[in-house]
Amino acid sequence: MNSANSAAVVVGVDGSEPALRAVRLAATEAARRHRPLRVVHGFAWPLLHVPVSPAPVAPPGGGLRHRAEELVQAAVAEAEATVPGLSISGEIIDGEAAAVLVGESPTAALIVLGDRGLGGFSALVVGSVAVQVAAYADCPVLVARGAQRPDEPVLVAVDGSPASRLAADFAAETAVSRGVPLVAVHAYRHPGSSGPGDMQPLVYDEAKLHGEQERMLAEWMTGLTEHHRELRLTCRAVHGRPGAVLAEASRSAQLAVLGGQGRGEVTGLLLGSVSQWMLHHAQCPVAVVRAPG
């Protein structure tokens, strides 16, 4: 593949430590995919009519735009140090960070960003930019969080929805390219157990229900190994709330892959509740895959 003519991996930067972690992850992903890396900074100050050039009496090198140039240069240097020889470019684009990255998504192979940035409140586990980009981007979005475990499997959440099928295909390609197994997890609950306390039905056959869920999961994954013949696939049906089940499974995964919206999500919700939960609580990087548009 000619990387110069291929869609780039795009990473959003703001000078924060989470953004630098994202740069390192993005550089690694770009190298794996034989893609160039594009470092982008959304420069919002002009929208607020704030002077961005140094004042006449200011020392050389002052001003907000110069600071933005410095942080992009630092991010490019970090990427070069992570993957020497990688094709890397950097650009400052006027606009709010999430809008800039979403604008990059139609022509990007992947967007990578940190879980929190300089504008995030300290009490938030994940920044609003990550949630917004994951909800609206027209390409897969990878959020750098949790631990790096390169020898562990790729994890994918499966519920039979079209969104989870897209996620499963992305996860399978990723697992094969990294030479690790894929673990497909389907979290289920007992019929009628939808209340806040997750009350269990008085009468149910746990073994029968579990067997039915395992068969459903196997049916959903039919064909995946045919399209990805080198794939080593393990399917697990687990009783519990999906968010909690997947967050626990992420402790022994190198990457968690989710669809943008699954079964049971509120109509019109652009990013499903389980995906949002994982962006806040996963113990490894999270990829959100949704259909464009």
pLDDT digits (tens, 9 = 90+) for 53-69: 555 555 555 567 888 89
Contact 231, 225 (CB under 8 A): yes
Question: What's the pLDDT at 184?
Answer: 97
Question: What's the pLDDT at 175?
Answer: 97
Question: What's the pLDDT at 84?
Answer: 98
Q: What is the pTM of this model?
A: 0.85
- Residues sharing a CB contact under 8 Å with residue 219, sequence separation 6 or more, in sequence order: none
Return the structure tokens found at 117: 């940035």
Question: What's the pLDDT at 36?
Answer: 98
Contact 143, 98 (CB under 8 A): no
Residues of the chain with pLDDT under 70: 1-5, 45-63, 117-127, 191-204, 262-271, 293
Question: What's the pLDDT at 272?
Answer: 72
Question: What's the pLDDT at 123?
Answer: 35
User: Each residue of 154-187: pLDDT tens digit?
Assistant: 999 999 888 899 999 999 999 999 999 999 999 9
